Chain A
């Protein structure tokens, strides 16, 4: 299936801002991280179509995943 992956902050270094990835059916957020070489503790926030999800969230074809490392402001 095709998933659009958007990366932010330090996750962009040596990777990309946005890319379409071909992933196996049933792939989870953890699977996306693994595909990108990002370790799970590095993840701050993952969103699918603007909603927060956890590592075990299963993706569906055509979804957009946004991944942020642990950052913040205020």
Chain B
């Protein structure tokens, strides 16, 4: 990967640049965050001409290494006001990598009210009109583009909420089955919409193989790495069988399943929405319980959820979405939850922010608790069409809370808190508070060690060890997010020493390097500090690294736990 494609939407120019030496060893999140930090003024308006939207495949993307097909998207987030990186599967990352494209940087914004499609080929990017696609949602956009270019075309697209610059808008990525994966969090769809880009098409004709410096060493490491993924019970058996939704019952039993907008830690109807029930339903109806989000995925945590007639309803049906709609918004019917997931794919909003904001709308009395049918209508006809109510909701959980004068508003830095209660799983609370991305469970997934006993065990109800746990995981995750690897490689990496060694060997073999584990840790630290410095430049201080106040005075049953970290204890996080 030796090219950077740069497109300026202010003067409609397109350039192909060589990769500066200091960016050569970066990919994925490391590269998007480095470019955003170097080129975007931290205080700029996220929807204005000075923000930039950056896409970058990971360091190992496009190689035969398992799990390496993730694409990072980065910008200043309109939802949080912080730097943002969100990564997704799909076909685009591997296509870009095989075309030698290390990053696409989109800057400026057009003065005219016209919409465009960026068309990426080996030669560069052309700016094409997209008037006929405006007002269409994602599946219609993808159908029209596949009719025009054939089924292999890579597609990144936004729906109507992205066009309307709503802060919950995501960027959808076509996957190998012509369905959708998402750069979900942080409202990056609104940034794409602000630049008047409806979609990006990728024609990878003429793309070659990603060069590998030492093919023999690479093959050996790739085998060890793949074996570790299959040997570990979580990545090798649990995830392909039950998907991520197996967590409903574990979090429920541990008292950490936020229910009815974070009132309770357990949900009475947990069994109806559980991974076990979902597995049985999919198998009985003839869907697929294992499925990958990109070519080369051997974990297969995705699934194809079908209705009673065996017709596709949704795929990539994740725990956080099912938790948010099922437990937090109290919708008991898994079919309704699946339909909501599909509509969120279609209109292009983050299914975590979408689920959390719907529960907050229930708190406000806008939607009855547990009313899945009304949620479907609100998603499709209010948010999806940009009505005034739809815009209040579509701007995210914090927007709903402010509009309706609510106090129980689960956000950090404006981003909705996902599926693990920080009072009864304290490590994840440290991650929510300190992450450079706002409330983001993937930034430092302490659930592994707090709840699943992967990588050791630290009692989720006690404060001891949580800051260090979150810090170590956030550092490691920042590095992993730079490789193009799926975050679930962490399960074997935490438990099987050869797995992490093989990952480093893969990078070394691909690039002819001799990195050590310490180098990888240093990379993770460097990325976090670049991101943190950007946020400080944008006006954030340690006082923003805090959870909403209600967590300190509303005990959550069954453990009646409260959030009890002092400011000093949280601030210790950045002491590295």
Which A residues form the contact surface with B (CB < 8 A)?
Answer: 6, 8-10, 12, 17, 44-45, 47, 49-52, 66, 68-74
Contact = CB atoms under 8 A, between A and B. Distances in A.
A72 B454 CA distance: 9
Contacts of B487: 74
Given A45-B452, A71-B238, A72-B246, 10 more contacts: A45-B451, A47-B254, A68-B253, A72-B447, A72-B448, A72-B452, A73-B243, A73-B244, A73-B247, A73-B275
Given A72-B238, A74-B447, A52 B275 contact: no
9 contacts: A45-B451, A50-B255, A51-B461, A72-B238, A72-B448, A73-B238, A73-B301, A74-B244, A74-B487
Contacts of B441: 74
Most buried by A among B242, B250, B448, B460: B250
B558 interface: yes
A9 B275 CA distance: 8
A27 to B, nearest CB: 20
B234 interface: yes
Most buried by B among A17, A44, A47, A74: A74
B254 A44 contact: no
Given A44-B453, A50-B253, A70 B238 contact: yes
A12 B234 CA distance: 17
A45 B233 contact: no
Contacts of B459: 52
Nearest to B301: A73
A3 to B, nearest CB: 15
A72 B239 contact: yes
B253 A73 contact: no
A69 B254 contact: no
B250 A8 contact: yes
Contacts of A71: 233-234, 237-239, 242, 246, 250, 452
Contacts of A52: 254, 453, 457, 459-460
Given A70-B233, A70-B234, A72-B247, A50 B239 contact: no
Contacts of B249: 8-9, 68
B253 A6 contact: yes
B561 to A, nearest CB: 11
Contacts of B301: 73
A62 to B, nearest CB: 16
A19 B275 CA distance: 20
Most buried by B among A17, A49, A68: A68
Contacts of A73: 238-239, 242-247, 275, 301, 319
Interface in B215-248: 233-234, 237-239, 241-247
B445 interface: yes
A47 B251 CA distance: 11
A33 to B, nearest CB: 15
A50 B233 contact: no
Given A9-B242, A74-B441, A74-B447, A68 B250 contact: yes
A50 B243 contact: no
Interface in B430-462: 441-442, 445, 447-448, 451-454, 457, 459-461
Contacts of B250: 8, 45, 68, 71
B488 interface: yes
A22 to B, nearest CB: 22
A45 B233 CA distance: 13
A70 B494 CA distance: 14
Nearest to B451: A45
B253 A47 contact: yes
Interface string B361-374: 00000000000000
B382 interface: no
A10 B441 CA distance: 26
Contacts of A44: 233, 452-453
A54 to B, nearest CB: 9
A31 B239 CA distance: 28
Contacts of A68: 249-250, 253
B253 A66 contact: yes
B254 A72 contact: no
Nearest to A54: B457
